[in-house]
Structure 1
Amino acid sequence: MKPLWLGAGLALLPALALAAAPEPKSFRDWMAGCDNVKGCTALSLPPEIADTVAYLRLERPAGPDAAVKLVLRLRGDWKKPPATVQLKLDGAPFPTGGKPLPVTADGDTVSLAFQPADIAALIEAARKATKLAVAAPGVTASVSLSGSVAALLWIDEQQGRLNTTSALIRKGSATNVPAAPALPVIEAKPAAGTVSEKDGKALAAALRKQIKQRDADLCEDDEMLVAADEAWPLAGERRLVGLACSRGAYNVTTAFWTAERGDVAAAKPMAFPQGEGDAGNMLTNADFDPKTGRMSFFAKGRGLGDCGVIGSYAWTGAAFVQTELSMMGECRGIGPDDWITLYRSTAR
């Protein structure tokens, strides 16, 4: 079942097995979430329709000495991106004096990284202010602050900062902030052996025929899907076989099995954390690199790729273990690099 926080744009996605992942929380016009090591992110949600997409992204790792990062992003279709922007909080210049603030451009995205003093001032002002207005030559945009205080308070709670000196919202005199948990370390193993394209196609064709006998409705037989079937070595005589089972305008769902010594009758589904389908062996827009043992996926909520679920796994020699997971449940023009991270690790 699709989690309730997911926006309408994700209604087209296959149902993901998200029970093991914490869900981002919605706070009016803001969203917040934390990963497995208590690193937390808060995002403002841009209006659904705007000439310039503007949003704030606050990120803070866990731990007593963790610094806060706050960035303003502007995404637009401009011939020449602005070099500076001017900000106002409910009509009042911000920072005080209203000086133009320098920004950096990367393609169609412009970014402003706030300094610590301005971060503290903006968080304090958000208790009463409702809107951050952004202006530059040919550019006007605004960021809603409705829900920002609640989102940051929730982050304080998740990181054990309530009533401490490092809290974002509910400050106090205490200093006993929990240390950040250690990142999981995943040992990725490259595939051992080789499989020729001809042999891989033959193995995939045999498995597709076998799967059709087991469940006639599991995989569509569209020619474009069949052409995308592939097989890779894992170790010894074990092969990973991917059958492209369904496709839409911007999503292709692939089901993965393992087969020993080409015995497709005994092939087993390769289950993934957050995998789709009854067996958890399906991924959307998946890409496997046998040289590194890494598998990635990107389930798009719509063609723009500004919402959905993105993640990766590492082959350990026995299973695919999750290494990263990020989500964005609202289709509002926010790029994947800024989505809320729910799981991360050190894979080597």
Structure 2
Amino acid sequence: MLRPAFLALLLTSAAAQTFAQAPSETVPLLREIKQWVVGCDNLRNCHALSAPSGVDEEGYSSLTLHLWHQAGPEGYLRLRFDHRGQDVDLSTLLLDGKPLSLELTRDLHVELDDQGGDPEVQSYGVIEDAAARRWLQRLRNGQRLQLPGDEQAHVSLSGLSASLLLMDAVQGRVDNVTALARTGKGAASDVPPRMPTPVLRKFIAPPVLTTQEQASLMAAALQAVRPEEGEPEATAGALTAQQAITVVRYDCAAYNCEYDVNSRKRQAPYDETSLAIQPLPLDGAALQGSVWFDEATGTLSYFYKLRGIGDCGGTGSWVFDGERLRLSEFRMMPRCTGVASGDWPALWSTHTAP
């Protein structure tokens, strides 16, 4: 028989191990940590990227370091450097003024596909798990990466360790062999599995709107909007054989507009009907900036800019499933650092049923 004291010790140890394995952060998550931004989606996949705050000596940088760690025991780890501007040789990178080892630089591979939608971006990836971990182990002990002779091409490592620890906490890896920041003896199999991916019903395209339907629906939608200045503009698309969606743009500023999005009957007098839209997490600025509806795919999308060149803000899309508009994708970037929207942290991920 086990003695009470020994039994209590076993139970305490088991509870501590279970706590270490359990994710300790709510997702989706978006957080700024010193010179880094971390985002984790609804599946607990995480993405951290270097992002100068612009309020200290770091300022703007033409060089960005991305880190992706997929959730789950076998989730992949990947690093990527993006350089905006002329071609460079990243094997010359300096860490705190000293060259990197050949063991690290030989793991950099030029990526030919355009990851972020910007043809002027040159990308170098570290795609093998062991190589990526070697890079992180080396960088965690440094302060700054710099391309020699280019003061604008740098990566501050201030906040990197805290970002890695946050990613570990989100994915339940703290004190695990798969952790990026605080490794331990926990087996990879102890890491919680990746969250199930939400499955969206495929949009069933109804008969398209006739020219008369479009004109009448847009006229009805415009009557419901009273802009402060300028003339509003409207578009319309079919949701079902009986229901349509109207999108009215009004009160535009320099690069963002206000929008009125409604569902209406496809028959006169084109009255409004109920339209359920899944809300964005993290107080995302939905249905502002630029909003459009794709009638072929039943997709409502938005792109909100925090400044004119569109390197920060929010973007997302919903798919109509026959009953409501369900969120299919959502990204946000709180800092304006030159990163294209395709490389903003993904905060909501889904896939569509075949």
Query: Is the TM value for this pair above 0.5?
Result: yes
**Contact persistence 2:60–2:337 (CA under 8 A):** no
Count how many residue pairs are aligned between Structure 1 and Structure 2: 313
What is the distance in 2 between the residues matched to 1:271 and 1:37? Answer: 23
**Offset at residue 254 of structure 1 (A):** 2.4
CA RMSD of aligned residues (A): 2.8
Mark the runs of 5 or more structure 1 residues left unpaired by the alignment.
Answer: 1-19
Q: Residue 331 of structure 1 aligns with which residue?
A: 336
SS at match of 2:251: strand
**Contact persistence 1:270–1:281 (CA under 8 A):** no
Residues 274-314 of structure 1: per-residue CA shift (max 9 Å, x gap): 469xxx98343122111211222111111211001011111
Q: Residue 313 of structure 1 aligns with which residue?
A: 318
Q: Residue 103 of structure 1 aligns with which residue?
A: 110
- Which one is further off, 190-199 or 330-339? 190-199
**Contact persistence 2:91–2:100 (CA under 8 A):** no
Residues 164-185 of structure 1: per-residue CA shift (max 9 Å, x gap): 1100011111111111111111
Q: Residue 287 of structure 1 aligns with which residue?
A: 292
Q: Residue 112 of structure 1 aligns with which residue?
A: 124
- Does residue 45 (structure 1) correspond to residue 54 (structure 2)? The answer is no
What is the distance in 1 between the residues matched to 2:162 and 2:60? Answer: 28
Percent identity over the alignment is 28
Aligned residue runs from structure 1 range 174-193, under 5 A:
174-175=186-187, 176-193=190-207
What is the distance in 1 between the residues matched to 2:230 and 2:77? Answer: 50
Residues 23-72 of structure 1: per-residue CA shift (max 9 Å, x gap): 41111111112100110111111464867511111001111111200101
TM-score if structure 2 supplies the norm length? 0.79
**Offset at residue 231 of structure 1 (A):** 1.5
**Structure 2 CA distance for partners of 1:102 and 1:52, relative to 1, 3 Å:** farther
Q: Residue 28 of structure 1 aligns with which residue?
A: 34
- Does residue 148 (structure 1) correspond to residue 160 (structure 2)? The answer is yes
**Structure 2 CA distance for partners of 1:52 and 1:38, relative to 1, 3 Å:** closer
What is the distance in 1 between the residues matched to 2:286 and 2:99? Answer: 53
SS at match of 2:166: helix
What is the distance in 2 between the residues matched to 1:271 and 1:245? Answer: 22
Select 2:247's aligned residue among 242, 249, 261: 242
Select 2:81's aligned residue among 72, 76, 82: 72
What is the distance in 1 between the residues matched to 2:286 and 2:120? Answer: 36
**Offset at residue 121 of structure 1 (A):** 2.5
What is the distance in 2 between the residues matched to 1:275 and 1:39? Answer: 18
**Contact persistence 1:46–1:332 (CA under 8 A):** yes
TM-score if structure 1 supplies the norm length? 0.81
Q: Residue 183 of structure 2 aligns with which residue?
A: 171
What is the distance in 2 between the residues matched to 1:257 and 1:236? Answer: 16
**Offset at residue 240 of structure 1 (A):** 1.1
**Structure 2 CA distance for partners of 1:275 and 1:131, relative to 1, 3 Å:** closer
**Contact persistence 2:28–2:44 (CA under 8 A):** no
Q: Residue 194 of structure 1 aligns with which residue?
A: 208
What amino acid is the match of 2:230? Answer: D
- Which one is further off, 96-105 or 144-153? 96-105
**Contact persistence 1:323–1:343 (CA under 8 A):** yes
What is the distance in 2 between the residues matched to 1:126 and 1:84? Answer: 15
Select 1:59's aligned residue among 50, 64, 68: 68
Q: Residue 301 of structure 2 aligns with which residue?
A: 296
Mark the runs of 5 or more structure 2 residues left unpaired by the alignment.
Answer: 1-25
